[in-house]
Structure 1
Amino acid sequence: MNFVLSTFGRHAAALAAALACSVALAAAPAAPAAIYQTQLQPLDGKLESLDRYRGHALVVNFWAPWCGPCRTEVPEFVAMQDAYRGKAQFVGVALDEAAAVRAFAHDYGINYPLYLAGMGGIAIMLREGDTRGAVPFTVVYDGNGHKVGTITGLASPEKLEALLAAAIAATPGDH
């Protein structure tokens, strides 16, 4: 009888340990998106990562000055950057050269940070979920660095608002 109880006890202990490990793994937060560690070239400055924006919702828009839909959505991003200041940060990742990006930023009154990725930005877009490898492509992250959603093509204000609301709700202290 002691043998049966002893064997049962060992199995129960092993099962309890396995359960505890699986609960701990399930509760562990997902790793932040790779975009936060990607080194990007600011329009004026040295390479940096987007990790500096962690703590607030982040909207990363991949675009180019020659892209028609990009020209359409940028004024909405400018307005939303003002509306969400302190809760969300917009950044633009341009697939073009500095001179063209500077001129576009001036003409459109862009009020958020711009980074230069050139055609290397396509690889980043693909990694972040763009199956087309074409601009515009927008990704929204919560303040913990987790991807909330993506918009392929022209970003409708309604979809972007919904993703931002979810990102802000998932960000500690930004409600």
Structure 2
Amino acid sequence: MKKNIIAIVILLGLVSWGIYDTMKKNNAVKASLASSEQVIEGLDMSSLTIGINKGNIAPEFELKTLDGESVKLSDFRGKKLIVNMWATWCPPCRAEMPDMQKFYDKYKDEDVAILSVNMTTSEKSVDDISKFLNEFEITFPVVLDEENKVAMTYQTFSLPTSYIIDSKSIIQQKVTGPMNYEMMDKMISEIQ
């Protein structure tokens, strides 16, 4: 009887923790979406929604680079953008990086950009990120999702995941899995 009571108490504790944790994560996502509403200027919000689906305005975020520089998603407004979420240990991420760098080299002087978001909480060490960027000679902006906030907001469950965003900050496509140069080129050429 005593063991049953202890098991029930433990089970109730775990269920309570699960509910608390889920509510906390949902509040973080809502806060991120609310902050996005404050930075969208010049768009007719009556027909647009902030969210992560095609046709939604991409939720705002601000993260730091390895050098500690703050970068916001809204810094890229006016450009066609690939937001790529990845990690150093991910083989498909490693496979797409050379094509991503090739794409960036071709378009960096035009109104096209890449913002690479490292899923830092999944890394063994931040030093691994620097080594990875040096190994692949990455020169496009890389920011660190050190608190997993962007991963939660954008519901990134597998890596790599990329969002193709137009010059008005509207999501045009979500790609789960690695992309090659031709895919990137085609997707970006099809949006404004």
**Both proteins in one fold, TM over 0.5:** yes
Relative distance call for 1:65 and 1:165 in structure 2 (3 A) is same
Question: Equivalent of 1:117, from 145, 156, 163?
Answer: 145
Give the equivalent residue in structure 2 for 1:108: 136
- Measured in 2, the distance between the counterparts of 1:55 and 1:155 equals 23
- Measured in 1, the distance between the counterparts of 2:45 and 2:146 equals 39
SS of corresponding position for 2:129: helix
Question: Equivalent of 2:113, from 75, 78, 89?
Answer: 89
Give the equivalent residue in structure 1 for 2:73: 50
Report Cα offsets for 1:48-82 as digits up to 9, x if no partner: 31211111101111000111011110000000001
Relative distance call for 1:106 and 1:26 in structure 2 (3 A) is closer
**Gaps (5+ residues) in structure 1?**
1-24, 171-175
SS of corresponding position for 1:162: helix
- State the shift of 1:134 in Å: 1.3
Give the equivalent residue in structure 2 for 1:135: 159
Pair member with larger Rg: 1
Equivalence map 1:19-34=2 (5 Å): 32-34=57-59
TM-score normalised to structure 1 length: 0.70
**Gaps (5+ residues) in structure 2?**
1-43, 51-56
- Measured in 2, the distance between the counterparts of 1:119 and 1:73 equals 24
Q: How many residues are treated as equivalent by the alignment?
A: 137
Report Cα offsets for 1:64-109 as digits up to 9, x if no partner: 0111011110000000001112221011100125311111101110
TM-score normalised to structure 2 length: 0.64
CA contact (8 A) 1:122 1:134 kept: no
Question: Equivalent of 1:67, from 68, 86, 90?
Answer: 90
